[in-house]
Amino acid sequence: MMAESMRSTYGLFIGGKEVMSGASRTVFEPATGEPLAQVYFGGRDEIDKAVEAANAALKGPWGRMAPGRRARALFKLAQLLAERQDELAVIEARNAGKALWSAKAEIAQAVEDFEYYAGAVTKLCGETIPQGGGMLAYTLREPIGVCAQIVPWNYPLMMAAWKLAPALAAGCAVVLKPASATPITALLLGEICRDAGIPDGVVNVVPAPGGEIGDYLVEHPGIRKVTFTGETETGRRVMERASRLLKRVTLELGGKSPNIVFQDADLDAAVAGSVYAIYYNAGQSCEARSRLIIHESVYDEFLGRFEEKAKTLRVGDPLDPKTQIGALISREHEARVDGYVRQGVQDGAKLLLGGGRPEGVQEKGAFYLPTLLGDVRAESRVAQEEIFGPVVTATRFSTEAEAVAIANGVDYGLAGTIWTRDVGQAHRVARAVESGLIGVNTPLTGAPGLPFGGYKQSGFGREMAMETLHLYTEQKTVLVHTAEKPVNPFGV
C-alpha cells in the first residue's frame, strides 16, 4: 500500500489542478534522513496565481451558496478523508517522522473537525437588534474573503484541517501554505477538497519557503486575512507585515505549558497523564506540558514513578505499530534539543533520564530519548524557552500561590494541566493560570468544539470552536427605515 500511495513528485495545487511550477525540492524522511519525494515550491508567481484563483472562486457560487449545500460538501470532504485515513497516515508518518498511531489519530481528528464545521455552516446567523423610531436593524455575517493559512510541520494535516474547515464553512477561499519540511498531506487535502465537489480555486495549496515568500503571501493585497500557526517570533513578523494593510490576523504560537501536581493527586493517573502530556509527538507539540511543577511532599515519589514509566516508552521507526514515539523533524532540530539539555545541566539541572539518542535507530534519522531534567530553577532557560522536543523540566513548590506564580512566570500561555482531588483547588487554580486551556486530571487538550488558542505570547484568536467561524466573517449592520414619515432632521 505504501508504494502505490506515495508519488515520486508532487506539484502545487492551484485552481483545482496539480501544477508543476516553481522550483522542485527534495523533501526528506526524518526517521531515515533519506529523500522521500520531490515537491514543487512556489515563488512569487505561484503565490500570485493562487491568490488570483482564490479571488476568482469567491466571485463564483461558493460564498453565496445555500448553506446546506456548503455543509454537504464539507461532510463529503470528511467522508473522503476518513476513507483515505490509512494511506494518509502512512504518508504523514513518513514525512513528519511521527508514530503511525498518532498520525492516524490526527487524521481522525481532522475528519471530526470537518464534520463539526459542516454542521456549523447552517448555524452561522446574524441577529436583529431592537431599535426605536421605525427602524429595523439586523446583522449579516459575510465571508471575509481570501485567507492565507500558514501551518507548521508538527501536525501538518491536522493543523491544515483546523484552519481550512472553519474558513470553508464561512464561505471563504484559501491559499494554504504548509511548512517546507511537510507539504505532502496538505497537497493531498487540496485534491480531496476538489473530489468532494468544492469548486476549483476555493482551496489552493502552495508549499513555499517561509522568509521572503512567506512575507510576500502575508503582504499580498489579494489576501484579506492571515491565520498563522508557528513560532512566536515568526508570528510577530507575520503580524507586523499583515498590519500594513490592516489585515485580520489569528496567531497560534508557541507554548511552555505547566503541569502542576498537588500533594493530594492520584499519582498513578498523574504519572501516566504527565508522561503522555510531554512525550506525545516526541514533545513537538505547542501544548506539550513541558514544565512539571510538583508539590515538595510528593516530588521524589512522583519523579521516581515518572522515570519508571517514561523508560518503557518505545522510540523508533514511525511505521512500526509498536512505536510510541517517532522521530524529530530533522537532525538540526535534534541538535537544538540536545543543546537545550546540555544548557540545562550547565545551569544546575539534574539529568534524571534520557539526554541523548536512543540505540538501534537509523544513523541519519533524527531521534531523541524521553528526557527528564530535575531540580530546575523556574527562571532558568530550559524552564522558560520552548524546547519543542521530548524534554520536561521538574521544579518543586510548597504553596498553591507559589505553584501558580511558577506556572504564570513565562511569556507563554497556551495550555496547562492540574492534578488534584480537591475540587475547590482545581477550579481556583484553573482560573488563576493564565492560559487558553486548562485540563484537570487529564492530559487531553484540543477537540472540535473546544476553543483552542493562547494568552500572552502564545497568540490570539481561537480555533476549533463556533466563535472561530466569526473570525472568518465580516459583520455587516443593516439599518432599515420602516416608518411612514421620512428621516429629515434638518427639516429641509
- The catalytic site residues sit at 252, 286
Least distance (Å) between residue 386 CB and ligand NAD: 5
Q: Which is nearer to ligand NAD, 246 or 492 (CB)?
A: 246
Least distance (Å) between residue 241 CB and ligand NAD: 7
* CB crowding 36-64: b at 16 or more within 10 Å, else e: bbebbbbbeebbebbbbbbbbbbeeebbe
Q: What is the DSSP string of 297-316?
A: TTHHHHHHHHHHHHHT--BS
Q: Which residues in the 389-448 window bind ligand NAD by CB under 6 A?
A: 414
Which region among 56-64, 73-81, 130-138, 454-462 touches ligand NAD (by CB under 6 A)? Answer: 454-462
What sign does the dihedral 415-417-422-423 (CA atoms) show?
A: positive
**What is the separation of C-alpha 118 from the centre of its chain, rounded to a whole number of angstroms?**
20
Q: Which residue has the cell 501536581?
A: 261
Least distance (Å) between residue 97 CB and ligand NAD: 13
Q: Which is nearer to ligand NAD, 46 or 317 (CB)?
A: 46
Distance CA 69, CA 122 (A): 9
Q: Which residue has the cell 476538489?
A: 194
Q: Which residues in the 239-268 window bind ligand NAD by CB under 6 A?
A: 252-255
Q: Which is nearer to ligand NAD, 181 or 265 (CB)?
A: 181
When asked if residue 179 is in the footprint of ligand NAD (CB under 6 A), the reply is: yes
Residues binding ligand NAD: number (CB under 6 A): 31
Task: State the cell numbers at 438.
Answer: 486548562
Q: Which is nearer to ligand NAD, 80 or 218 (CB)?
A: 218
Least distance (Å) between residue 265 CB and ligand NAD: 26
Per-residue contact string for residues 463-482; x = within reach of ligand NAD by CB under 6 A: --------------------
When asked if residue 238 is in the footprint of ligand NAD (CB under 6 A), the reply is: yes
Least distance (Å) between residue 255 CB and ligand NAD: 5
Q: Which is nearer to ligand NAD, 238 or 327 (CB)?
A: 238
Q: Which residue in the set 16, 152, 156, 390 belongs to the binding site for ligand NAD (CB under 6 A)?
A: 152
Q: Which is nearer to ligand NAD, 230 or 448 (CB)?
A: 230
Which region among 46-54, 177-185, 336-344, 346-354 touches ligand NAD (by CB under 6 A)? Answer: 177-185
Q: Which is nearer to ligand NAD, 32 or 182 (CB)?
A: 182
Per-residue contact string for residues 197-216; x = within reach of ligand NAD by CB under 6 A: -------------xx--xx-
Classify residue 77 by its DSSP letter: H
**What HEC string does 95-153 produce?**
HHCCCHHHHHHHHHHHHHHHHHHHHHHHHCCCCEECCCCCEEEEEEEEECCEEEEECCC
φ/ψ of 171, rounded to 5, equals 90, 20
Q: Which residue in the set 230, 354, 355, 374 belongs to the binding site for ligand NAD (CB under 6 A)?
A: 230
Is 475 exposed, middle or buried (CB count within 10 Å of its CB: 0-12, 13-18, 19+)?
exposed
With beta carbons less than 8 A apart as the criterion, state whether 41 and 23 touch. yes
Distances, alpha carbon 164 to alpha carbons 345, 353, 379, 450, in Å? 42, 39, 38, 16
Q: Which is nearer to ligand NAD, 254 or 318 (CB)?
A: 254
Phi-psi region of 466 (alpha: psi -120 to 50; beta: other; left: phi over 0): alpha
Least distance (Å) between residue 430 CB and ligand NAD: 19
When asked if residue 354 is in the footprint of ligand NAD (CB under 6 A), the reply is: no
Distance CA 277, CA 288 (A): 6
Output the residue with the shortest Cβ distance to ligand NAD: 210
Q: Which is nearer to ligand NAD, 74 or 159 (CB)?
A: 159
Classify residue 62 by its DSSP letter: G
Q: Which residues in the 284-313 window bind ligand NAD by CB under 6 A?
A: 286
Four-CA torsion 16, 20, 22, 28, nearest 10 degrees: 100
Least distance (Å) between residue 472 CB and ligand NAD: 16
With beta carbons less than 8 A apart as the criterion, state whether 310 and 265 touch. no
Task: State the cell numbers at 435.
Answer: 492560559
Least distance (Å) between residue 478 CB and ligand NAD: 35
Q: What does DSSP say about strands 17-19 and 12-14: parallel, antiparallel, or unpaired?
A: antiparallel
Least distance (Å) between residue 227 CB and ligand NAD: 10
Per-residue contact string for residues 371-390; x = within reach of ligand NAD by CB under 6 A: ---------------x-x--
When asked if residue 180 is in the footprint of ligand NAD (CB under 6 A), the reply is: yes
Q: What is the DSSP string of 330-379?
A: -HHHHHHHHHHHHHHHHTT-EEEE--SPPTTS-TTS-----EEEES--TT
Chain positions contacting ligand NAD, by CB under 6 A: 150-154, 159, 177, 179-180, 210-211, 214-215, 218, 229-231, 234, 237-238, 252-255, 286, 386, 388, 414, 454, 458-459
